[in-house]
Amino acid sequence: MDHETSSPQASNGASAQVEARVRASFKNQSLMDHLGAELIRIAPGEVRIRLPHRPELTQQHGYVHAGATSTIADSAGGLAALTHFDAGQEVLTVEYKINLLAPAAGQYIEAVGTVLRSGHTLSVCRLEAFAVDHDRRTLIAAGQQTLIRVPAQK
């Protein structure tokens, strides 16, 4: 099952080559497919991933589990960093810290990764996750991530 979207909003300013590399990296993350995550926006220095609320992703109180929320936030940040890298370069998370601010209750969770600094070796991203329920958008997690630029594996 392929959950990446091809909607016009999926890309917003990223070059076709950058968008293709980000989509390929997302598709190669089997966990994203397993969770049912969707890549919904690719822009220079910003990526958004949506995770529909499903019973299989919940914890004991019915909220989306923090592990699922953290996972899509980590991927959104990594892919945001990737938008600044040249072809032949990939990204790995070195560390991240995320604060859970509110229960993950909504129709879906949207993670936003935003590049704060793209360095030669290390990059730093802001991570945010929102629970979206109809017109209500609630910040449920915020964090920061450090990533390292590595050569792409062949």
pTM of the shown model: 0.91
Q: Which helix (H) or strand (E) holds 19?
A: helix 16-28
What is the CATH number that goes with domain 8-151? Answer: 3.10.129.10
What is the percent of the chain where pLDDT is above 90? 89
pLDDT of residue 153: 85
> Which residue is listed with tokens 């600044």?
84
Question: Does residue 50 have a pLDDT over 70?
Answer: yes
Question: Does residue 5 have a pLDDT over 80?
Answer: no
Nearest to 141 by CA among 106, 107, 110: 110
| Band (10; pLDDT cuts 50, 70, 90) | low
The amino acid at residue 132 is V
pLDDT of residue 13: 73
For residue 38, report the phi and psi dihedrals to the nearest 5 degrees. -125, 135
Q: Quick one: average pLDDT of 61-86?
A: 97
pLDDT of residue 56: 96
Angle at 48 between CA 95 and CA 99, to 5 degrees: 45
Q: Which residues make Cβ contacts (< 8 Å) with residue 121, sequence separation at least 6?
A: 148, 149
96-133 CB burial, b ≥16 within 10 A, e <16: bebeeeeebbbebbbbbbbbeebeeeebbbbbbbbbbe
Question: Does residue 41 have a pLDDT over 80?
Answer: yes
Q: Quick one: average pLDDT of 143-153?
A: 95
Question: Does residue 3 have a pLDDT over 90?
Answer: no
Question: Does residue 140 have a pLDDT over 90?
Answer: yes
Residues 152 and 132 sit within 8 Å (Cβ to Cβ): no
